[in-house]
A = this chain, B = another copy of it.
Amino acid sequence: MSNATASIITIGDELLIGQVIDTNSAWMAQELIKAGIWVKRRVAVGDDRDSIWNALTEEAEQADIILITGGLGPTADDITKPLLCDYFGGKMVMDEQVLAHVTHLFEKVFKRPGPLLERNRRQAEVPDVCTVLHNARGTAPGMWFEKEGKVYVSMPGVPHEMKGLMTDEVIPRLGKRFVGAAIESRTLLTFGIGESALAERIKAFEEALPSHIKLAYLPNYGMVRLRLTGSGPGKAALDMELDQLFLSLQQQIPDVLVTNRDEPMELVVARLLLSSGKTMATAESCTGGYIAHRITAHAGSSTWFRGSVVSYANEVKQTLLDVPQAYFETVGAVSEEVVKGMIAGVLNRIDADYAIAVSGIMGPGGATAEKPVGMVWIAVGSKSRVQTKLFQFRFDRARNIEMTAISALNLLRLFLLEEHPAS
């Protein structure tokens, strides 16, 4: 039993001139894999008739399912819908259900005064050779075409509209249409070991893997994720095989293993805190609120996260975190003394059990001879115990902020493991 394959075509000049980063494709790929469909290729083309037409033809030679996003907006730079109509040999017709939905959205939800614009009315026109898919979240409907055994689905490129359509309409329909082998994967996260050294340590494991199971290395900001992906006729047997291999893999790298789930560092910290009913706070200088943002991006974080003082100006470190003014004149803001003081201060001001404090130079400006760009002091701790560590990161501001956040969360993780070794 083989798996259906998909190709994703994204349409829009904005993708080719780099003004928009394509986050849709990654999300779509994850959902397709869960449904047992491999993504074979992704192609981005501009708002150009020939380019789109050729992409449709080419991708149909490579995959069973062609998912198309973008090019369906109400403005004149959108040429996709008439092209799809021609490509599949239909003619445009008004869909009364879609028209009612578009009218409802503009009148009741967007509350735009006046009659429906002609350009919005036209959003309810669809080729008569497609199955219309209801887009609850927006004005452009999804369209499902079939031709020579291949399925083509066109969706708007607005991420939350595409997600709604995929979840409610496309994935369930594809699930009925294509039944393939199970695809399963297991992902773990390591910290503090490079890709090469890691590969060296698990070389024998990797070489002994059966051919239907692949190991991938995904390095990212000082972390390397390892992913085992397998496919097989039966989900139960595949799950058992993967579980066994995954356990064996973990046992070979206990010292660098952060988590055996596909989750970000902050959710590892979250589980450690939740298991002992504890909470945390952050005192952030150079990360400027980014650690708190990473944490609060997750629903339910209010259970274990209390708040943060973003002490970007040194004066705020004094007034809200009680760091003695003298430190700034002697050791300076980027110092062990200051991050220790920030921990004490934030735990004094915010009722939390543990805290993270960071102070560093993110660049490109702000460096001195003694304190280069990328130098960061991190402290983690409780009211009774604090650990500090000096880091020297490299390259650009965005990377330094990211590295600081991940390193700080990892230090707190290790600190919590020492406090509650049983977790």
- Give A contacts to B, CB under 8 Å: 13-23, 25-31, 33, 38-47, 51, 55, 58, 73-77, 110, 112, 117, 119-120, 137, 158, 160, 185, 187, 194-200, 206, 214-220, 225, 227, 229, 262, 282, 284, 287-293, 295-297, 299-302, 305-313, 315-316, 319-320, 349-351, 362-366, 394-399, 401
Contacts and interface: CB of A to CB of B under 8 A. Distances in A.
Contact of A41 (B43, B215, B301): B43
12 contacts: A16-B38, A18-B33, A22-B26, A112-B197, A120-B196, A287-B293, A289-B308, A292-B293, A296-B310, A307-B316, A315-B351, A320-B350
A120 B292 CA distance: 37
A28 B21 CA distance: 11
Contacts of A14: 216, 218, 227
Contact of A302 (B74, B110, B313): B313
B39 A17 contact: yes
B42 A199 contact: no
Contacts of A290: 289, 293, 296-297
A219 B307 contact: no
Contacts of A27: 18
A252 to B, nearest CB: 15
How many copies of this kind of chain does the complex include? Answer: 2
A196 B75 contact: yes
Pick from A17, A197, A199, A300 the residue with the most CB of B within 10 Å.
A17
A76 B18 CA distance: 31
B74 A195 contact: yes
A73 B219 contact: yes
Given A20-B218, A28-B18, A41 B33 contact: no
Contacts of A398: 297
Given A217-B77, A315-B351, A17 B42 contact: no
Contacts of A312: 292, 296, 301-302, 305-308
Contacts of A44: 25, 41-43
Given A320-B309, A395-B137, A197 B13 contact: no
A299 B397 contact: yes
A185 B112 contact: no
Contacts of A22: 21-22, 25-26
A284 B119 CA distance: 39
A291 B288 contact: no
A189 to B, nearest CB: 12
B18 A26 contact: yes
B316 A301 contact: no
A272 to B, nearest CB: 19
A301 B31 CA distance: 39
Nearest to A315: B351
A76 B194 contact: no
A125 to B, nearest CB: 15
Contact of A293 (B18, B196, B288, B315): B288
